[in-house]
Amino acid sequence: MQKSELNRGQFLKQLGMSSKALMAFYCMGTLAACSSDDGVEPQGNNNPGGQQGTSNAIVGNSTGSNINFTLDLTDANFSKLKTDGAFDYAGDVIIANVGSESYIALSKKCPHQGTSVEYRKDNNDFRCPNHGSEFATSGAVTKSPAGSGLTVFKVVLSADKNTLSISA
Ligand code: FES
């Protein structure tokens, strides 16, 4: 291997420094969080809410204009959706449990400036926390400043109640 192909860790190891010494060397100068002997960043889920489609619980397309995916409600990231009044995000979609094992899925981005809307159990509607736009479960605007509504998606709960199929 040519020297130009060595990364910093390999180079320092060739100088005789142990992994522990390497970690101390890395951390000393930067005060950055160091948690791995091999320099590989940990692959933990930094998105426990299951947003942005990072979870294996989402299969299919949960972003863009062709929404069509399934959501595993037994996955730890989404199991809270089995609770009446709970809501969560999968990609570009907000899913709300509106009670009696019924679910609603809408586009999550407020048409005003793109903030993710939230479900309000007590009002059975959706509200944008940014400037206060409100939307009915039909997606229609009930309070401005949003000038247009949210897109409603079709939601089917599987017979075993463990999977949602969401599509345009
Ligand atoms: S971004 Fe939603 S009301 Fe402004």
Output the residue whose Cα is nearest ligand 1's atom 3.
131
pLDDT digits (tens, 9 = 90+) for 84-117: 999 999 999 999 999 999 999 999 999 999 999 9
- Residue 131 CA, ligand 1 centroid: distance in Å: 5
- Residue 54 pLDDT: 55
Residue 73 CB partners (closer than 8 Å, separation 6+):
79, 81, 82, 161, 162, 163, 164
Mutation to probe ligand 1, out of 106, 117, 128 (largest number of atoms < 8 A from CB): 128
Map out the domains of the chain with their CATH numbers. 1-43 (no CATH), 51-167 (2.102.10.10)
Q: Say what the pLDDT of residue 121 is.
A: 97
Global confidence as pTM: 0.70
Cβ atoms of 91 and 141 closer than 8 Å: no
Q: For residue 96, which phi and psi values (nearest 5 degrees)?
A: -125, 135
In the chain the first and final C-alpha atoms are separated, in Å, by 52
| 146 in contact with ligand 1, CB cutoff 6 A | yes
> What's the CA-to-centroid distance between 98 and ligand 1, angstroms?
23
Q: Do 95 and 105 contact (CB within 8 A), yes or no?
A: yes
Tens of pLDDT, residue by residue over 51-91, are 444 569 999 999 999 999 999 999 999 999 999 999 999 99
Question: Is the pLDDT reported for residue 47 higher than 80?
Answer: no
Residue-wise pLDDT tens digits, 116-144: 999 999 999 999 999 999 999 999 999 99
Identity at 53, one-letter amino acid code: G
With a 6 Å cutoff on the Cβ, whether 108 touches ligand 1 is no
Going by pLDDT thresholds of 50, 70 and 90, the confidence category of residue 34 is very low
**Across all residues in the chain, what is the average pLDDT?**
79
